[in-house]
Amino acid sequence: MNNGSKWYGNLLLTITAIIWGLAFVAQSAGMKYVGPFTFQCVRCALGAAVVFPLMVRRLFKPFPKGEEGEPSVGKGHSKHITREMFIGGLFCGLAFTSAAVLQQFAMVTTDAGKAAFITALYIVLVPVFGIFLGEKVKLRIWGCVLLCIVGVWFISISGQAKKQPADILLLLCAAIFAVQIQLVNYYVKRIDGVWISFMQLATSVAVTLVPMLFLEKPSFDMIVDARYPILYAGILSCGIAYTLQIIGQKYTSPVTAGLIMSMECVFGMLGGVMILHQVPSGREVFGCILVFTAVILSQVEIREIIKKKAA
């Protein structure tokens, strides 16, 4: 994997973090009108509708011709939905759905900033889970993870943090998101990333549809009232950002991906300033500086820079 590919993947993940950060505002606003299952189901249905045409185009793209005129299998393209494609997409979808629903339930009773902080703990759990998979993590990355955690704490926690049932839901959410990142990292090297994105969203619709209809029983007017948060969360956060996440992870390590995506807390705070007119404190600004520093250091090989200057 060359440096150009890594920067391409990191750029996609940065755009993902921006969209996700602003999605915290949309998720919080959406809870005023509909329940967690309804919000998750409708937004994922919108996201799946956005991804579906791209998925069909890539999935059934004609195979390129080989040197002798025979079709050669292009990576990520297939005229058949294989067993691995179905199982991989299903596993990623179940992990994504579980984490997203837990997060949505927690946001009914907690603020967006606290939710962003606890959810961002997946950046610690990703390398921890990676160790059990035989992955090696550089000391520099561990230092960036620690710096990022401190930064996110300064951004999201103000005053005394009270223990609430929502905190447990968010901790479980963070753990499952870490699993989802590792699953995506595993399957994106074997099957098409857009297919994984579509399967994640379609699985979420299938899982949340029944509880939405029988437990929350939303009316059409309720969904219309929540249209702006749902449209943002569905089209941008689900349809576009999760697809960019999967494609971006193909070109970088899961630990680095977790660090970059943790910047959603920074952009979430900026979204609060621009949309909700919330002025950040000095503590929050300091946290932003720490997070940006951690992300930059995670991308830069200090030894390589020293060698180039020495040369």
35-47 pLDDT, tens digit per residue, is 899 999 999 999 9
Contact 147, 294 (CB under 8 A): yes
Residue 74 lies in a domain: no
Residue 70 lies in a domain: no
Residue 145 lies in a domain: yes
Which amino acid, 296?
I
d(CA 3, CA 1): 7
Instruction: Tell me which residue of 304, 300, 3 sits closest to 144, measured CA to CA.
Output: 300
Residue 95 φ/ψ, nearest 5 degrees = -65, -45
The residue range of the domain holding 32 is 3-61+80-310
Residue 211 lies in a domain: yes
Average pLDDT, the chain: 78
- Whether 307 shows a pLDDT value over 60: the answer reads no
| pLDDT recorded at residue 308 | 45
Tokens of 297: 């250091």
Helix (H), strand (E) at residue 247: helix 242-249
Tokens of 158: 């103000």
| pLDDT recorded at residue 81 | 66
- Whether 289 shows a pLDDT value over 70: the answer reads yes
Q: How confident is the model at residue 150 (pLDDT cuts 50, 70, 90)?
A: confident
Residue 10 lies in a domain: yes
Residue 68 lies in a domain: no
Across 75-79, 173-177, 279-283, 291-295, the highest mean pLDDT is recorded for 173-177
d(CA 292, CA 265): 11
Contact 15, 244 (CB under 8 A): yes
User: Which is more confident, 281 or 229?
Assistant: 229
**Total number of domains in the chain:** 1
Residue 75 lies in a domain: no
| pLDDT recorded at residue 280 | 67
d(CA 277, CA 274): 6
Residue 233: C-alpha distances to residues 107, 207, 236, 282, 307 (Å): 14, 18, 6, 29, 45
Residue 69 lies in a domain: no
User: Which is more confident, 196 or 165?
Assistant: 196
- Whether 205 shows a pLDDT value over 90: the answer reads yes
d(CA 193, CA 123): 21
Across 129-133, 227-231, 240-244, the highest mean pLDDT is recorded for 227-231
The radius of gyration of the chain from alpha carbons, rounded to an integer in Å, stands at 20
d(CA 214, CA 221): 17
Q: How confident is the model at residue 213 (pLDDT cuts 50, 70, 90)?
A: very high
| pLDDT recorded at residue 195 | 86
